[in-house]
Chains A and B, each alone.
Chain A
Amino acid sequence: MNGSFCRDFKIHVIKTNILATFCKFATTLNTMLTKTWFEIGRYWKFMKGLFVKPEKFIVYYRQVMHELVSIGVGALGIVALTSVFMGAVITLQSAYNLVNPMVPLYAVGIVARDSIILEFSPTIIMLVLAGKIGSSIASEIGTMRVTEQIDALEIMGINSSGYLTLPKIVAGLLICPFVVIISIFLGIIGGWVAGDMSGIVPSADYIRGIQDQFLPFNIVFALIKTLVFAYIITSVSAYHGFHTDGGALEVGQSSTKAVVYSSIFILIFDYILTQLILA
């Protein structure tokens, strides 16, 4: 009788624990889903606010010009450095892996070119830009928020989200394709120099490789990806900056969130676009 009671009690305790764990899990999931839906809704509301008629086109035009310099020209140094070394490493690693005597040496050029055009320049360079531009946009707008500069714009009757964000998105969409084209060019040059200097891939083989079986559509694909990623970086970063609440600490957090979320969305959309267009 006593043993049976103990067993029933133990089963009851286990059941209660399982139920409590399940409830906790369900609550956490519910909170996460609510927060995610809230963020998605707020993002779309924010986006809707951007595409209203600007107060004065000339002011927006000047802002776009300013952002073109800030986003594009300001990022050229890091893009050039990353691209050259990326191209060099891809070439050397491809040569290291293609050791089969049946594979001609110029195949290294083909692999390097296609890797740079299809993936490394549009994706890796845009990830680098997410770090550079994304944090800069989020911290700039976030600082404006906590120092009441955005309130000052709204008091004047200016659509603050449009004024602050639209020029950045337009500038990003205009300049990033050029940045990626420059990156592709420098990446291929980097690979050529590395292969030739190390003596692993002679110059003639590499040049033949980069010309062989070239598909112009790959460039179009790279540019489509670039445009999508440029939109993600500028809009997500501006969104996080715009919704900063608090002080200097929160500006830093918004900046980090901007980079993290931009990078995650770039990787997700990289997969989606590759699946949709190339597969």
Chain B
Amino acid sequence: MIKVDHIYKTFGEKTVLDDVSCTFETGKVNLIIGQSGMGKTVLMKCTVGLFEVDKGAVYFDGRNFSEMNFKERKPIRQEIGMVFQGGALFDSLTVEQNVMFPLNMFTHMTQEEKLDRVNFCLQRVNLVNANKLFPSEISGGMKKRVAIARAISMNPKYLFCDEPNSGLDPKTSIVIDNLIMELTEEFGTTTVVNTHDMNSLTEMGEKIVFIYKGKNYWEGTFEELEMSDNPELIDFVYASKIMKRMRKH
């Protein structure tokens, strides 16, 4: 379980996170939802340590991550897999080399063992015959899948996905959502997904944190969300015509 405990983050004069507390549960897909510019990505980056929090703490299974230095964080970082918004694949490496990268850096596996692991991860995300292609030669959806394959290559305990569906068509988005759900179930990871895609919310929202103006405005399950009368949450979730129609029914 990941516990975010009263964190604050400001950039210059602007307060982006203002006393945010929440928990991300093990073996579940935890969604962070909210409008663009409300602090979702900053919350995720503070959680994984890419941004240092001004105040408060983040605990990974009871370990105070915020208080640790770079060296102390290393073992926890190796338990984290992250899928970035744009994929963040290394341009100069092929798909195979990208997935193999963490294995090269942190394991003492033989080349054959590494290749087996890479092929397993690529098959797991339904990518075959793409090993030798470069990121510039594959589509957006494939890039996301390679990023997921790289993120799971080290068997992570915690999986973070920053807007995994951005720039993808609805059908591919569902494929990615299902993949994240399956992997969470299969590996028992604590998965945190940052999204403003309502399809993702309905597909995989087990635990939901709604961020509004830098604050944790609402937290609950999908069922609780359906029953909620929080005006900002309703305004956000049912913003589109199709969602409004769904709500009526």
Contacts and interface: CB of A to CB of B under 8 A. Distances in A.
A, B in one complex: yes
Interface of A: 55-56, 59, 143-144, 147-149, 151-152, 154-159
Interface stretch (B58-66, B100-108, B169-177, B226-234): B100-108
Nearest to A155: B82
A21 B92 CA distance: 52
A274 B78 CA distance: 49
A55 B105 contact: yes
Contacts of A151: 45, 50, 82, 84, 88
B84 A148 contact: yes
B102 A156 contact: yes
Nearest to B70: A159
Nearest to B105: A55
Contacts of A156: 77-78, 101-102, 105-106, 154
B78 A154 contact: no
Interface string B43-74: 00100111000000000000000000010011
B146 to A, nearest CB: 12
A149 B74 CA distance: 18
B5 to A, nearest CB: 21
Contact of A152 (B74, B78, B82, B106): B82
30 contacts: A55-B106, A59-B104, A59-B105, A143-B91, A144-B90, A144-B91, A147-B86, A147-B91, A148-B85, A148-B88, A149-B89, A149-B90, A151-B50, A151-B82, A151-B84, A152-B82, A152-B84, A152-B88, A154-B49, A155-B48, A155-B50, A155-B82, A156-B77, A156-B102, A156-B106, A156-B154, A157-B73, A157-B74, A157-B78, A157-B106
A148 B82 CA distance: 11
- A-B pairs, 8 with minimum CB distance: A157-B77, A148-B88, A152-B88, A157-B74, A148-B84, A155-B82, A149-B88, A55-B105
A55 B102 CA distance: 11
Nearest to A163: B105
Contacts of B49: 154
Nearest to A156: B102
Nearest to B75: A157
A25 B84 CA distance: 45
Contacts of A159: 70
B95 to A, nearest CB: 15
Contacts of A143: 91
A3 B151 CA distance: 83
A66 B12 CA distance: 40
A147 B88 CA distance: 6
B80 interface: yes
Interface in B79-122: 80, 82, 84-86, 88-91, 101-102, 104-106
